[in-house]
Amino acid sequence: MKGQKRIKVLMAMPALESHTRGLFTVASMFRDAGMEVVLLGNELPERIVDTALQEAVDVVGISTYCGSPVVFGRDLLKYAEDKGIKKNTAFIIGGIFPPKDEPTLKEMGFCGVFPPGPGATREKIIACVEGAVKK
């Protein structure tokens, strides 16, 4: 019974998103990979961070396609820094946004960035999360 450590992920999306398919699909992938996934849905960056703090998650996953991943990501990571969870939490983001945003998002602190394309597969997303948590 001992050592039942499991990766815990918080899945959320910016407040004005309306499509849940991406979020639910990735959440199910994580569940099938043996992780515990807290579904939050649409939220503001502050509340996503507050929730991550209360839930003591290892990973925060953002699904977005409303067109402002950089602005949203910056706010999110700033609050995470303020609340002291940025260092010990892995942040990943995926959805429909221009691949040219990828370097900016990575520089900001997202360890996994998944714009549309061959990079966003089940294996790659899960490997990214597992690798980030091990660190």
Partner 1 sequence: MKLVNKILRGDVGAASRLMKDIEDEAPDATDELKKLYPHTGKAYVVGVTGAPGVGKSTLIDTLIKVFCQGAMKVGVIAIDPSSPFTGGAILGDRIRMKYFSKDQSVFIRSIATRGWTGGLSKHTLSMIHVMDAMGKDIVLVETVGSGQVEIDITKIADTSIVALCPGGGDEIQTMKGGILEAADILVVNKADREGADDLKLKLEIMINRRIYSPDQWKPGVFLTQASNGAGVAELMEEIFRHKDFLITSGGLRANREKRARIGLHEAIRSYVENYISEKIANNTYLDNLISDIAERKTDPYSAVSEITDKLIGTTIK
Is the CB of 39 or the CB of 71 nearer to partner 1? Answer: 39
Q: Closest separation between CB of residue 67 and partner 1, Å?
A: 23
Is the CB of 84 or the CB of 103 nearer to partner 1? Answer: 84
* Residue 98 token pair: 């221009």
Q: Mention every residue, 6+ apart, whose C-beta is less than 8 A from residue 115.
A: 94, 95, 96, 97, 98, 99, 101, 102
Residues in the site for partner 1, rule: CB under 8 A? 1-6, 8, 27-28, 30-41, 47, 50-51, 53-56, 83-85
Is the CB of 19 or the CB of 104 nearer to partner 1? Answer: 19
Is the separation of the CB atoms in 63 and 17 below 8 Å?
yes
Q: Closest separation between CB of residue 40 and partner 1, Å?
A: 6
